A = this chain, B = another copy of it.
Amino acid sequence: MRRSAFAGALVASVVLAAPAFANDSVQKCITDANNWCMQQHDYAAQRYSTLDQINTKNVANLQVAWTFSTGVLRGHEGGPLVIGDTMYLNSPFPNIVYALNLADDNKIIWKYEPKQDPSVIPVMCCDTVNRGVQYADGKIFLHQADTSIVALDAKTGKELWKTVNADPKRGETGTGAVLIVGNNLLVGVSGAEFGVRCFMTAYDIDTGKRQWRAYSMGPDDEVLVDPKKTMMLGKPVGADSSLKTWNGDQWKLGGGSIWGYMSWDPKLNLFYYGTGNPSTWNPAQRAGPDGKQIDQLYSMTLFARNPETGMAAWAYQYTPFDEWDYDGINEPILADIDVKGKKRNAVVEFNRNGFAYTLDRATGELLVAEKYDPAVNWASKVDMDKSSPTYGRPLVNADKSTFLNGQDVNTTNICPAALGSKDQQPVAYSPLTGLFYVPSNHVCMDYEPFKVEYTAGQPYVGATLSMYPPKGESNMGNFLAWDAGNGKIVWSNKEEFSVWSGVLTTAGGIACVGMLDGKFKCVDQKDGKELYVNKTPSGIIGNVMTYGHGGKQYIAVFSGVGGWAGIGLAAGLTNPTDGLGAVGGYAGLNNYTALGGSLTVWSLP
């Protein structure tokens, strides 16, 4: 097992070259490994740091160096940035931003507290989370819950500009981290649980002026697909590629939320992101004119787009005609890896539907699609036969089809549950091993679709869910290492709860991640051996990061339970089917942790 892991590393250590179109300030920031310049660490979203002061030999000696409470409770996703002497971090709603002085006792340099209407809270489907601020050109960019985007002076916290991306009154909210490429801020919107036709938008980072918008579904000129040039599975998408896959006007309520972490390839000048479920969750209401399944492009889709124009170079739909809420929003990770013996410039995505996909990131060619959770049972496999009419599509097990079983029928024991084999919690890649370190869920569900009427700003879900671990098992999570070139689990550690925290890998050979019960763990990348465990104040759904300061390496993560998995605790819900089924599934969390909101920072003595 160790050998195969390291074999991958031999061909996987190519670093993405510095680009011509980059945002220079971000590129320059990233060259100093002491910094953590982006939520994803780098444009490839690898979450791998070359810092190695903390390593497999000494990580057991980690100590809490300092801590900081954000002053806000509920789910703390995302994490801090570090640029030179300053750490930037932000809280869930009301999205307070802090700049801390690492050179002066971690004092608060400035604090920015947006005024937001709390009426946005009930419109946020899965807790009041926020996936973190971003940095470029001496500015800190905040994407607020109410979809406002604010540029702050990184030195003073002064508001430089503010623009409003969407409208919470229609169910449109903001939780995702933006991506800065060149002079564009790229930002999605959430709302598929409210019948919103969601979109990706680019704003000028100096002025906040809108540059382009690409909807997840609709006419070609609104989706920004070129019928002849935008490719899908090796073929041009053709005219009206999205509209053709919807019945009537349902696309106008089409969903396709965008709220996961994004990546960008500087050579190809393509950025990558995924879209969420089609609305509603009741598939019967989305059936085709013939009463049968219909794809509903471009929901559940991985897009490769030009960041300057927004035009899609290629697209790949993970889950056509979704019947389970298997959003395709998870982060696409760029890595040059060995795929079945051949070096590929790959994009790798661990989908909510339980399959891990490896594609060629220039062309969208599907290279690998395998289950990264053995429990997955909604589909037998993804058809990899290029000559097959179902090429590139999941082969759905009919008994797990909530559509075929029908409206008002409870389809039981579907794996994974709606929150997926992995949700937004980002994976890390390590060039040391060539492996991906996956914080995963191991959860199944019952799913009963029902008819729902659309009212703007009101929930448009149309399904009742229950969640639980796979039958006969008790662990609801696995922390695992994945060989994306061969589509195989290399090692897997059972965890009592879903691992809802983003992973850090470092040149020290460690992979660190947080647990929903509040434990922070570092393991050996090679074999998953637990090397350090420490209990933080509350459950961890934040992403582990590292930085260097004053000659010392630090590792940090938010603790503050919440998010979809922790929504019962976060919002005080007790009905098991509340939280779209998560309340019952994660009820055991009440035995471990309570709400919190603080950053814990470790270092060696």
Chain B residues closer than 8 Å to A66, beta-carbon distance: 534-535
**A537 engages B107 (CB within 8 Å):** no
> Do B594 and A70 touch (CB < 8 A)?
yes
Which stretch (A218-226, A232-240, A376-384, A585-593) binds chain B? A585-593
Chain B residues in 8 Å Cβ range of A534? 64, 66
A515 to B154, CA, bound (A): 29
Count residues of chain A with CB under 8 A from any CB of chain B: 39
Q: How far is the CB of A601 from chain B (nearest CB, A)?
A: 9
Indicate whether A71 reaches chain B with its CB closer than 8 angstroms. yes
Please determine whether B535 and A595 come into contact, CB atoms closer than 8 angstroms: no
Interface residues of A in 88-136 (CB under 8 A from B): 96, 98, 105-108, 111
User: Does A21 reach chain B (CB closer than 8 Å)?
Assistant: no
With contacts A64-B64, A591-B108 taken as known, whether A538 is within 8 angstroms of B598 at the C-beta atoms is yes
What chain B residues lie within 8 Å of A68 (beta carbons)?
A: 518, 535, 537, 593-594
Copies in the complex: 2
The answer, yes or no, to whether A596 is at the interface (CB within 8 Å) is yes
Verify B590–A69 contact, CB threshold 8 A: no
Which chain B residue lies CB-closest to A569?
B71
A25 interfacial by beta-carbon distance below 8 Å:
no
User: Does A559 sit at the interface, judged by CB under 8 A?
Assistant: yes
Which residues in B have their C-beta under 8 angstroms from that of A108? 590-594
Assess whether A245 is interfacial by the CB under 8 Å rule.
no
Complex CA gap A538/B591 in Å reads: 24
Cross-chain contact of A69 among B105, B111, B538 (Cβ < 8 A): B538
Distance of A518 Cα from B106 Cα, bound (Å): 11
Whether B69 pairs with A537 at a CB distance below 8 angstroms is yes
Which residues in B have their C-beta under 8 angstroms from that of A535? 66-68, 106
- Given A64-B63, A66-B535, do A71 and B595 touch, yes or no (CB 8 Å)? yes
Q: Does A145 contact B (CB under 8 A)?
A: no
* Mask of A56-87 contacts with B, CB within 8 angstroms, 1/0: 00000101101111111100000000000000
A296 proximal to B (CB < 8 A): no
CB distance from A29 to the nearest CB of B (A): 26
Residues from chain B with Cβ under 8 Å of A96 in the complex: 594
Among B73, B591, B598, B599, which residue has its beta carbon within 8 angstroms of that of A71?
A: B73
| Inter-chain contacts of A537 with B (CB < 8 A) | 67-69, 537, 598-600
In the assembly, what is the distance between CA of A98 and CA of B569, in Å?
Answer: 15
Chain B nearest CB from A572 CB (Å) reads: 10
Question: CB-CB < 8 A to A111: which residues of B?
Answer: 590, 594
A106 partner residues in chain B, CB cutoff 8 A: 535
A595–B63 touching, CB < 8 Å: no
| Chain A contacts with B in 29-77, Cβ cutoff 8 A | 61, 63-64, 66-73
Could you say which residues of chain B place their CB within 8 Å of the CB of A64? 63-64, 534
Cβ-defined contact, A73 with B73, below 8 A: yes
Which B residues touch A591, using CB under 8 A? Answer: 107-108
A599 to B559 Cα, complex, angstroms: 13
Instruction: Verify if A536 is at the interface (C-beta below 8 Å from B).
Output: yes
Q: Considering the chains assembled together, what is the distance between the CA atoms of A70 and B70 in angstroms? A: 15
Q: Which residues of B contact A63 (CB under 8 A)?
A: 63-64
* Contact string against B for A residues 566-593, beta-carbon threshold 8 Å, 1 for contact and 0 otherwise: 0001000000000000000000001111
Shortest distance from the beta carbon of A515 to any chain B beta carbon, whole Å: 12
A61 to B63, CA, bound (A): 10
* A222 CB, min distance to chain B CBs, angstroms: 43
Q: Which residues of B contact A597 (CB under 8 A)?
A: 69, 596
Q: Which among B107, B518, B559, B590 is the interface contact of A592 at CB below 8 angstroms?
A: B107
Given contacts A63-B64, A534-B64, contact A69 B107 (CB under 8 A): no
Residues of B within 8 A of A70 (CB): 594
Given A64-B63, A537-B537, check contact A69 B596 (CB 8 Å).
yes
B592 adjacent to A69 (CB under 8 Å): no
Q: Which B residue sits closest to A107, measured CB to CB?
A: B591
Cα A534 to Cα B602 in complex, Å, equals 12
Given the known inter-chain contacts A64-B64, A111-B590, A590-B111, please indicate yes or no for A595 contacting B69, CB distance below 8 A.
yes
Chain A residues 541 to 569 lying within 8 A of chain B, measured CB to CB, are 559-560, 569
A5 CB, min distance to chain B CBs, angstroms: 31
Complex CA–CA separation, A523 to B70 (angstroms): 28
Most B-side CB within 10 Å, residue of A96, A538, A559: A538
Q: List 10 A-B contacts (CB under 8 A).
A: A63-B63, A63-B64, A69-B537, A69-B559, A69-B595, A69-B596, A71-B73, A71-B538, A111-B590, A111-B594
Complex A-B, nearest 10 residue pairs according to Cβ-Cβ distance, in ascending order: A69-B596, A71-B594, A64-B64, A69-B537, A537-B598, A71-B595, A69-B538, A66-B535, A67-B537, A63-B63
Task: List 17 other contacts, CB 8 Å, given A69-B594, A537-B537.
Answer: A63-B64, A66-B534, A66-B535, A67-B518, A67-B536, A67-B559, A69-B538, A69-B559, A69-B595, A69-B597, A71-B594, A73-B73, A108-B590, A108-B592, A111-B590, A596-B597, A598-B598
